[in-house]
Structure 1
Amino acid sequence: MAEGSADFKNTDDYTTTNVINGIKYPPHVKRENLEALAKFDLRDDDIVIVAFPKSGTNWVLEIVTKTLVTSGKIGASSSDDILDKGKLEFQYSHELRPRHVILQECASPRVISTHLNLDSVPPGISNPQNKVKIIVVMRNPKDTVVSYYHFGQKCRSLDGRKPLPPWDEYFRIFLEGKNTYGCYFDHVLGWWQRRDDPHFLFLKYEDMKKDLPNAVRTVAAFLQVNLDDASIETIAHACTFANMKGILDNSRIYDRTVNARKGLVGDWKTMFTDEQKKLFDQKCKTKLEGSGLHFDFE
């Protein structure tokens, strides 16, 4: 497929989004910036949050931010402050410099976020050394596709762009791995290869919903931060969906303002037809069977 060519009809700029190395990216991810990441240097105290879009990046970022602030590792900061500079592969049209350049000037410890797959990130993230820490967040693919669809529609409304294709077609695009950031299954399985590397912590969205204080405790331990039980409970309470929605709705970063919708496990049932469920279940079986990676869908 040629750079920038369309592979679906009647879907406006969704199909003309830049295609780089066979993967479709949103407009704020540019070829020259992805190529430059090969030389991006990681610092020994860097913390990186990796997730396929709509899998829990903002949630984990809030936990990490509050953990670092509470422990005194960083000064008073909001997740907006960190995300405003830390989106590794981004460069919006109004920005003179890409985020990976801005990150070079940021004080340590840096909190970096990315939606890129294992093969597209800097070598210091795909094969971290020394004390670099990588948190990989995963969400069951059924809820991910529904959340991604609603998020995309809201962003397009904010930008004045034409809507995404109807749900049935978007479902097909996602199932075929032709959505932005590529195939969900290839993305998570690529990172899952690193599950035995102590530089990595894997968190599942569904587990966080079941026991948020335990997720906070796990993150703090991984970051080698000592927090008492009261601090853990305070952070967990601040990071419930109700409180996170308030933070995101009032964010100064425009696409964060449409990020929080329901925050549920099992919301896919409101969108999937019986036939779509069968198709998706078969896809999950084909892609995930034997990998040791399992998800809760409700």
Structure 2
Amino acid sequence: MPKVVTKETLDAMSNFQVRDDDVIVASYPKTGTNWLLEIILKIRRAARERQTELCEDSVMFGPMELKIPSMPQPGYIKLAEMPSPRIMNTHLPIQFVPPGVSKPQNKVKVLVPMRNPKDTAVSFFHFLNKMMPLENPGKEIVLQWEEFAQDFINAKVGYGDFCDHVLGWWKMRDDPHFLFLKYEDMKKDLLSAVKTIVAFLEVDLDESTIKGITEASTFNNMKADLDNAELVERQAIARKGIIGDWKNMFTPEQNEAFDAWYEKKLAGTGITFDFE
């Protein structure tokens, strides 16, 4: 686990109360989490939920298990105080999340974005280098790509092995409370992805509204919003948002090592990825 996830927080997850109208994004870091959260937020906002006022602040606390530098408390404590409806996210493997997330009941919705591991590793590397000064004020800490790439396939990065993490959630693919989305599919046909999310959330929106949400949710538009966010942590989230950026970082040897690793882990599981 990253150092901003404590044992106390992990212990508290078993008692965190998930509500019937909660929407949760469960993901490995840098697989499209915030992109998906922004889309969900726009859908909820467009639906103008009549029974309860949409609490948009819930997405600002980051993953429920983290204490981000600019927040005085871990996300789960603040979320417990928030009125419904809440939109939450977690990067925890399925075995560590609250029971109401790993085995959702009633109307709880869990969305799981997935992204090819090569682009995920590159995005994770750049994000951590942006976050290091925030988490270690006054210290100069710079990650080296060669070391990080090896650590990634050796499960020595925050949240552990990418393949194990994805496979843990993938076991729930036949549960109607879950929706799995691939980052690459969203990039190639965002309109279809937004329509799928709208249907999953059981929201009634007309075609023009859905198209407007899609346009507002393109990566470039979302990046502009995040780059100007009040929280410095959110400003570090979006970078290129493209498929295949790994080609700018990987050596042939690293590419072969990644291929062998994920083939061994994911072959026969039904999980496949586009790499360009």
Q: Over aligned residue pairs, what C-alpha RMSD do you find? A: 1.6
Q: CA deviation at 1:93?
A: 5.2
Q: Does 1:267 align with 2:245?
A: yes
1:222 to 200, 216, 219: 200
| Residues 1:30 and 2:6 aligned together | yes
Identity value in percent: 48
Do the aligned partners of residues 41 and 87 (structure 1) sit closer, same or farther apart at CA in structure 2, a change above 3 Å counting? same
Q: CA deviation at 1:242?
A: 1.1
**Aligned partners of 1:63 and 1:38: how far apart in 2?**
28
User: 1:172 pairs with 147, 150, 154, which one?
Assistant: 150
Q: Out of 5, 16, 25, which is 1:49 matched to?
A: 25
Encode CA deviations 1:23-56: one digit per residue, 9 max, x unaligned.
Answer: x32x321110110110111111110001111110
Matched, 1:295 2:266: no
- Give SS of 2:94's match: coil
Q: Which runs of 5+ in 2 are unaligned?
A: none
Q: Deviations over 1:156-215 (max 9, x none)?
A: 244544334311111000010110111111100100000000000001100000111111
User: Any residues of structure 2 matched to 1:132-281 within 5 Å, and which?
Assistant: 132-159=108-135, 160=137, 161-281=139-259
What letter is aligned with 1:152?
L
Structure 1: which 5+ residue stretches go unaligned?
1-23
Q: In 2 relative to 1, CA 148–60 (structure 1 residues): closer, same or farther, beyond 3 Å?
A: same
Residue identity opposite 2:270 in structure 1: G
Question: 3-state DSSP class of the match of 1:297?
Answer: coil
- Could you tell me whether the CA contact under 8 Å between 1:69 and 1:77 is conserved in 2? no
Give the whole-Å Cα distance in 2 for the aligned partners of 1:108 and 1:188: 28
Listed one character per residue, the Cα deviations across residues 234-272 of structure 1 (whole Å, up to 9, x for unaligned) are 111111111011111011121110111110000000000
Equivalents in 1 of 2:44, 2:59: separation in Å? 14
Give TM-score, length-normalised by structure 1.
0.87
Q: Which amino acid aligns with 1:99?
A: G
Q: Give the corresponding residue for 1:125.
A: 101
Corresponding pairs, count: 272
- Asked if structure 1 preserves the Cα contact closer than 8 Å seen for 2:55 and 2:83, the reply is no
- What is the CA-CA distance between 1:88 and the residue it aligns to? 1.0
Provide TM-score, normalisation by structure 2: 0.94
